[in-house]
Amino acid sequence: MKPLKTLIRNKAKLIQRFFDVLTAIISFFIAYFATNIIAPEYFIFTNEYIYMLLLVIPTWAILIKTTNLAQIPRSRSYLSIFFRILNFNLVGLFVLLLYKHIFQFESFSHYFILCFTAINWIFLFALRLVTFRFVKTFRANGHNIHNLIIIADKESEQIIDSILDHKEWGYRIVAIFSDSKHIRSTYSPLIRVLPERSNIRNFIKVDIVDEVLYCKKTVDLEKVDKLIESCKELGVTLKVKSNVVALDIPKTKLTHLESTSFLTFINTPNNSFRWAWKSISDFIIAALLIFMLSPVFLIVTAIIKLTSKGPALFKQKRVGLHGRQFYIYKFRTMVQNAEELKAKLAALNESDGPAFKIKNDPRITPIGRFLRKTSIDELPQLFNVLWGDMSLIGPRPPLPSEVSQYEDWQLRRLSVKPGITCTWQIIPNRNDVVFEKWMKLDIEYIEKWSLKSDLLLFVRTIKSVILNRGY
């Protein structure tokens, strides 16, 4: 099973938001008791304090979301976190003063608001220091790592050294593309250093790459333009070193690596709150379904063991986020030597692309056919969701052999976590859909992703299972 640290990593941001709001509630009560001790005759409890607390909770939740306060930065200093939380509380102070006068809370004191804001500032900063310290240790030990490609010149040495020296940032440089002799002689013993004329696009296709950093002093607009297109098609984030403010370009924002600014082109749906909510809901729903369906797991396991030779579970290597490989789990629906027989049945493949599908596959056992019809064979993938390799909703995880045959534009479906079900799974006669349309459906899902669309796909999947549309 995956270590607990992996689960913490995947759910950290939403959990952090929860504790931030909880800190605000605790600060509110401490502020009241503190001010009441100082001047009990002045700070008299009224219903207005309850009303204000009911306003504080959603206000703080919205402010935390909009300011992205729950994000733990990879490379910012403690001082920057200090001022970030100070700015957050100053905005909160202004909002609470506004509430007091808009709703005419006469018995609600200005001193209480100042006290609450100060206490919340101290508590939030203390909480963030503890969290930041934990996350830095977590990343320094090799978890939550982002793989980087760096396009560099001789002026990029400081950035490269910073990334190598600060393991707690959680970055791994997989390659440097540079024509600088200094860069090559300095880093080639440690890192692959390739000429800039090398095909960066092909490198991204065959390796696991999360981000591309363009950190040359002089920006080659033509090359950057090609990188933007390549990264967009392959679903990889591009960061271009820049001293300008963020431009008004969709999915573009200004980010920082220590003190260096980068113009970041994000090529996946960019809403951290909704992605965090999707992640935590995946975990909760998967855990609940595993608990509720545990009798089904036991019964199906027993039936498979009694009706055919071999293990009840089938595991197979699949490709996930940005090319990371993992093992997917299913109830075994085929004979034990199914993989060995696959080569002999290649001529019967009914799929027009790299996928392998046969409607009346002779390798499928009688009970396996029923499990496929009802999609019960997919249930063990709930553990893949629990471990963080998959999501409930998302493009189906392909085989490594299939990915090796993908066209460039099809690789973009690897820019999000794979799922148990997606658009292709719920359409009638899904196995008659040509491979190219299947890929386009997945990419359309990524581009138009929303929590609402996930909910609709989840409901439609249940309907599809009831109607037995699988095979």
Mean pLDDT of 295-301: 93
> 252-257 and 237-241 as β-strands: parallel, antiparallel, unpaired?
unpaired
Predicted confidence (pLDDT) per residue in 171-223, tens digit: 889 999 999 999 998 998 889 999 988 888 888 888 888 889 998 888 887 88
Count the alpha carbons within 13 Å of 198 in the hemisphere toward its beta carbon: 17
Which pTM value belongs to this model? 0.51
User: Higher model confidence: residue 87 or residue 65?
Assistant: 87
The strand pairing partners of 194, in sequence order, are 177
The strand pairing partners of 260, in sequence order, are 257
User: Higher model confidence: residue 91 or residue 345?
Assistant: 91
The token pair at 358 is 């046969």
Range from 54-63, 96-105, 158-167, 258-267 carrying the lowest mean pLDDT: 258-267
Q: How far is CA 235 from the centre of its chain?
A: 13
Smallest CA-to-CA distance from 325 within 315, 335, 313, 334 is with: 315
> 260-265 and 237-241 as β-strands: parallel, antiparallel, unpaired?
antiparallel
Range from 86-90, 276-280, 319-323, 435-439 carrying the lowest mean pLDDT: 276-280
Smallest CA-to-CA distance from 301 within 219, 256, 367, 245 is with: 367
Local structure of 4: helix, strand or coil: helix
pLDDT, residue 303, reads 93
Per the prediction, the chain carries an average pLDDT of 79
pLDDT at 273 over 60: no
Burial string for 127-165 (b: 16+ CB within 10 Å, else e) reads bbeebbeebbebbeeeebeebbbbbbbeebeebbebbee
CB distance 300 to 375 below 8 Å: no
> Band of the pLDDT at 365, cuts 50, 70, 90?
confident
pLDDT, residue 247, reads 43
Range from 136-145, 199-208, 209-218, 352-361 carrying the lowest mean pLDDT: 352-361
> Band of the pLDDT at 271, cuts 50, 70, 90?
low
CATH fold for the domain made of 146-265: Rossmann fold (3.40.50)
The token pair at 225 is 């333009």
pLDDT at 347 over 70: no
pLDDT at 113 over 80: yes
Range from 83-87, 304-308, 325-329 carrying the lowest mean pLDDT: 83-87
Mean pLDDT of 62-89: 72
Predicted confidence (pLDDT) per residue in 430-457, tens digit: 666 677 788 888 888 887 887 777 888 8
Residue indicated by tokens 């998302």: 394
pLDDT at 166 over 60: yes
pLDDT at 380 over 90: yes
The token pair at 211 is 């981000």
pLDDT, residue 431, reads 63
Instruction: Return the domain boundaries, the chain.
Output: 4-140, 146-265, 272-466
Q: How far apart are CA 296 and CA 288, in angstroms?
A: 14
CB distance 237 to 231 below 8 Å: yes
Which class for 185: exposed (0-12), middle (13-18), buried (19 or more C-beta within 10 A)?
Answer: exposed
pLDDT at 26 over 50: yes
Phi-psi region of 95 (alpha: psi -120 to 50; beta: other; left: phi over 0): alpha
Q: How far apart are CA 20 and CA 181, in angstroms?
A: 49
The strand pairing partners of 330, in sequence order, are 314
Residue 171 phi, psi dihedral angles, 5° rounding: -110, 140
Where helices occur in 207-348 by DSSP H, the ranges are 221-234, 272-292, 294-307, 338-342
